[in-house]
Amino acid sequence: MAMDKISIKGLELWVFCGCLPEEKERRQLFLVDMELELDLKKAKASDELADTFDYRRAFEIAKKVMAGSPRNLIESAAEEILQGLLACEEITWARVTLHKPTAPLEYKFADLAVTVEGRR
């Protein structure tokens, strides 16, 4: 059976994350993309919020992880967001991309990101 998807792109969070000393002293912009696979059949028929996955839950999961204990690596933060999403009974599969577009590196780049995905 084909599943439906909800996509959230570009959730902006200003948090501490990184290995460098300046990253531990100054918040940086992170962008979170989340793709969620779930069955939306009931919601499509009823048009009721109670019959779907409330997007605010995904925002809160990402915010809680990123605003929690500072991490050295975006890999571990992305994985924790993924596991939080997969703990929601409606979600059968998820992909999380965590972007760090303002990483303090001596190179010019458009984006730096890590993507993790998993199935429940």
What's the DSSP call for residue 80?
H
State the Cα–Cα distance between residues 40 and 4, nearest whole angstrom: 6
State the Cα–Cα distance between residues 111 and 40, nearest whole angstrom: 32
44, 64, 100, 108: which one is catalytic? 100
> 26 by DSSP, 3-state: which?
coil
Q: Is 42 a catalytic residue?
A: no
Residues 31/11, Cβ–Cβ less than 8 Å: yes
- The residue among 76, 115, 90 whose CA lies nearest residue 36 is 90
Give catalytic residues, as residue numbers.
100
